[in-house]
A and B are shown apart, each in its own frame.
Chain A
């Protein structure tokens, strides 16, 4: 014990650098002396808490300074693995009140100093600006205050004017804060908007004015607190108060804001202001879009043609060998025997498993098998896997798909694309893509990268240790535009499906359902009554409920707009009729008579694309849920003005919602929002989902508007006394001005650049104006018309009009297609069948590529065709004509007789193809008696075109007239197909008709456009 007291005595005076080490040493000595049990984990939590409390008493007697005491206690709690519930501790401290008095006196001094200084220097005005930014605008933590200082000193126009708001976009890094942005160098940082209240704005304005006149070299790059120090020192001297440390100043400034009853600032906002807790902010672009109420619609919308869902039946068909049981696989079953005793079925001890696996490596296995074994041994040796069951779990998760897919590939020649493809293949092979599968897969690929230097898949390369929080927020205008565009996106689908998608998006936006929850809602989960309508999220086979807290009831009658509620009710009634009284059926089903659930990714993928296009920043579909919660945050905490301007609700509706949620204590408002979002605690709601916290903090700061003497305003804002007096005469007789009044003067002198200032609810009108945009036809529209025509040739106009197309355009498209279809040039040599359609096909729509990846090719080709320069049109037309005439009927290959023709074709067509497109040439060599050697033929083709040539096994080509160098068939390969895996005998399955299809539809589009112009003329 002597040693311990000696140690603590030394700890009191030891060097700062040694504090941590000493603290750890003291803690280990204490534990040695106090606890007989060497393993701390075996001590119950209550016992550990007791040890902690005892030690705390002991330390307090040693009269240590606060910092050292804190260091000791944190080391002790770490060693004891004590989870001290910081979140639930009462955050009030006795010192708070002491510092509050100090800050109040400092404030009095600063106001006095500003009023009395006749000619303030640049430093002084900077000090005042920083002071008010901290004390009045809520920049109450070091990193944020430093970022503001840097911005107002160095940037030309630091303050953004968005409508009636003045704000500064700030980037900072604070260890405890999550990241939501990247800087120019790709480093992760935190972005936040700091809204500036009038007094701070005056101060910044004053500083900027003086800065323009002064020499900028006077400015020194210092932290906010160091700049503020001279001002504080003057205040300490004048008032005689004790000095505040940096942390105390910031903490007390936030507390002072909250303590003022006029601010109506809830407790959580105080901690947001001082950086203790964080809330998701918003990007500047999102905020501008939100306030302006406009939406930048994308120039062109895509159409979705692939299957909207994989039905269970299709899944069954796709069932692959990769889903077979591990015990059925010859290699895996051997490995399982090494892990699990076959007789007792018990897992072997870790060491034994390791030995057995090592002995297995001596066997003759494929490279893929060897890699699996080495991976398991590596993970066991490095302590990442501690049990045989873990080996078993990981091998079961990905063992079989890895062996199957990697056996077909030359692993040693794997490039990044190959690795990514293999990774995706294995991932897709496991239908149940849970965390186990993904973790195991990532671990295996990292191991191969480490041991064999295989490249990492792209998706793994992108992953950074710290996850980023998305802070983009779609506005109501975006949501409306989304509804319009998503209908166009899915216009080839049935009306019912489009209606379902429309409603699903409404539920995600208004009731903040998760996308995977909304697709699983059943008929009986919705109840609509005149006064009380609810939507339930409950556990059942159709739905994946994330946590117990996600089981919830949502007030549909309050959160949905009246027209949306009517829409939901109509849809519900229709589904009830279709369901023949069964309430267990899905509310949104692809098939009206069977339960076929929508795929949530099918819903979220296009939504993500569209939202990203509107905002110009990555905006996942999940942000719709965020937008709903953020709107509700404003409803619960915001002023009527903000509600009217930035949410889809009116002040009256907001009042109703607030009343309804005030069932429990008013102090639980945030918790109520959290419960509706399906979260366990408010922390997750506030940190990730609510994006209006900055704005609410600004609102609270503005509530504290005090009146200041004219002299104060003059000195702070650096305005001419006459200007201010002129305004003051109009406004007040007592010679005092409030911040907002000075702000009006400032704005009258420097008119705001905010062109997008809107009156409340004007956003709606503006948004509607965007919705009625001029329609431009695109190749997708031709597809829509042709599909509608094929479904019902008599009355296809009705279906077409619903998609926003005119009947005249539809008629022109049909006419153009019929012309092309009947064009004799495009018939086979015998003249019976069209090269462009299947045999005896009655349809007008050409056969479309099936997969989504191929579809991307089609859209890219269209895009490039539209953008192609005028000079290339004639050559393009020739090549496309050649393509139609030389396409072999029923196949996707284009036939060529000479390499030079092929070269010319490739040169013409290359600019309109996606950059990743790959070709394959199948050569039927000339096997006639006078023909040259097939190998030479092959080399000639290859030399001219630089495409891999595959020689067909059988060939009937003879004679030197038509095909002297053999007949070559050119195939465009499907996306993501590797050359190495091509099966020479069955190459058809790797080729795509995307080029033919795109060219065909584009030809129809061009012809229809010509016809349309002719009609108009």
Chain B
């Protein structure tokens, strides 16, 4: 009995490891077809295209959609003006409720995106979905058809293995993992990164057609013309949007400097530093954001961020360009401390705590006291920018994606963990080179967006 319970316990302890392993596309798995069999399946299906099962298998091979998803009644087929059929992507992005002028500076993606199908296949799929007598097509019948394909080493070709082809071979056509997820109609919530990217669909389709060329080898099938449209996150700002936000900080700080309003200057500068740090670290908006000064190293090269639960901690490099601002912020705090030594004991003590790393790094100066920064306080102070407080993540991820950075490294930087796992586990092969590269790219983005780098004291000369 004791042995049995031990075995049961051991089995249970492995459940999570098994599940995490199953999530990965490992080379040693049998769940994918070798390049020879991709061709064999492709030729077989093309030869028996009058069989609806073969048509469904072919679509699954080309798009990575599972057979079950393709045959679902919810899966919509749309026909464009040229007569080509497209699978409607299940991804949808909600509209941000923004009334401020910033709305004009948001990326404007389409509401819906569709995954193209070769014209011949699109027609067949429409027939299958519309004719009642052809509804006998099921995953089982497709599986039966695929199982009939003779293989040399008795390797069973299954619908799952066929639909995995895009994920295993997409990279050879230049498709990123994100694009593969989009094309294969993966549920949106399965990977958080899906919510953050706004991308050019046309470029993705070009890569997809390259993949099709490889799968179909010599074919006369006609591919639909790639549309020129953006799809994805509706919360990403463009260059003008970012410039307008930071221009507001710059002008206001200058204005308050003229009136010598110390509290307002401090609060504005704090907001500016938070905004800047969020932009370079993609930190989520949380209360006591960025924690204490202990979360920074002494030369502001690295920052420790923990913004969502136990698995979210990450150590990110800070771009060189913002280091003077942070050093200036420390000097500024010290100056406030020295000024309030005899005037306000409370301020003196709280700044001392901040500098000793015993209180949150960012505070707002309200009346005669300093209170830690919270999300609601930031929202109140920036009520005229009614954009979501994680616009930084949407904007930077979109921009970096556009630059062609590896989506996995990007996910690691933005803390989009793989399900049942995380990038920083003890056996992860993650190294810091690509992380630093992302940070460098963000630095270049700041230069491109012409984000003003404000360093105290706030004279006319200092506001570059």
Contact = CB atoms under 8 A, between A and B. Distances in A.
A83 B429 contact: no
A919 B310 CA distance: 74
Interface stretch (A30-38, A289-297, A447-455, A659-667): A659-667
Nearest to A95: B294
Interface string A795-812: 000000000000000000
A549 B21 contact: yes
Interface in A646-667: 660-667
A271 B304 contact: no
Nearest to B292: A94
Interface in A68-114: 83, 85, 87-98, 100-101, 104-105
A676 B153 contact: no
A583 B150 CA distance: 12
A805 B21 CA distance: 53
Interface string A289-321: 000000000000000000000000000000000
B357 A98 contact: yes
B408 A681 contact: no
A599 interface: no
Given A92-B304, A526-B153, A664-B25, A670 B433 contact: no
A527 B298 contact: no
A527 B151 CA distance: 10
Nearest to A94: B304
A554 interface: yes
B302 A386 contact: no
Contacts of B155: 527, 536
> Residue among A92, A551, A686 with the most chain B CB within 10 A?
A92
A104 B299 contact: yes
A97 B425 contact: no
A261 B436 contact: yes
A675 interface: yes
Given A525-B153, A583-B154, A666-B406, A267 B291 contact: no
Interface residues of A, number: 76
Given A101-B297, A553-B30, A264 B431 contact: yes
Contacts of B418: 665
Interface string A723-758: 000000000000000000000000000000000000
B27 A266 contact: no
B288 to A, nearest CB: 12
A682 B36 contact: no
B314 A92 contact: yes
Contacts of A271: 426
A875 interface: no
A387 B30 CA distance: 41
A385 B434 CA distance: 56
Nearest to B168: A663
Interface stretch (B9-17, B107-115, B141-149, B378-386): B9-17
Contact of B426 (A104, A262, A267): A267
B430 A672 contact: no
Interface residues of B, number: 66
Given A92-B315, A97-B297, A264-B433, A85 B16 contact: yes
A524 interface: yes
Given A91-B424, A97-B303, A667-B408, A527 B313 contact: no
Contacts of B428: 266-268, 667-668, 670
B24 interface: yes
B431 A265 contact: yes
A388 to B, nearest CB: 10
Contacts of A264: 431, 433
A583 B427 contact: no
A276 B433 contact: no
Contacts of A637: 429
Contacts of B427: 87, 267-268, 277, 670-671, 681-683, 686
B311 interface: yes
Contacts of A95: 294
Interface string B439-456: 000000000000000000
A536 B434 CA distance: 35
B302 A259 contact: yes
A540 to B, nearest CB: 10
B4 to A, nearest CB: 9
Nearest to B425: A88
B171 interface: yes
B424 A552 contact: no
A532 interface: yes
A527 B36 CA distance: 10
A386 B310 CA distance: 41
Contacts of A93: 313
B1 interface: yes
Given A104-B299, A680-B14, A664 B24 contact: yes
Interface in B372-431: 406, 408-409, 412, 418, 421-431
A548 B312 CA distance: 31
B315 A259 contact: yes
Contacts of A667: 408, 412, 423, 428-430
Contacts of A265: 431-432
A105 B297 CA distance: 11
Contacts of A672: 26-28
Given A386-B2, A583-B153, A678-B28, A90 B424 contact: yes
Contact of A666 (B1, B27, B357, B409): B409
A422 to B, nearest CB: 26
B35 interface: yes
A188 B25 CA distance: 40
Nearest to B24: A664
Given A90-B311, A90-B425, A532-B36, A552 B304 contact: no
Interface string B119-154: 000000000000000000000000000000000111
21 contacts: A88-B16, A89-B425, A96-B304, A98-B297, A100-B302, A259-B302, A259-B432, A264-B431, A267-B428, A527-B34, A527-B152, A527-B155, A551-B30, A552-B30, A553-B28, A554-B28, A660-B27, A667-B429, A675-B28, A680-B17, A680-B21
Given A100-B302, A267-B427, 5 more contacts: A85-B16, A104-B297, A265-B432, A663-B168, A678-B28
Interface of A: 83, 85, 87-98, 100-101, 104-105, 258-268, 271, 276-277, 386-387, 390, 524-527, 529, 531-532, 534, 536, 538, 548-549, 551-555, 583, 637, 660-672, 675-678, 680-683, 686
The 10 A-B residue pairs with the shortest CB-CB distance, nearest first, are A675-B28, A675-B26, A101-B298, A665-B408, A682-B427, A552-B28, A669-B429, A92-B313, A261-B436, A527-B153
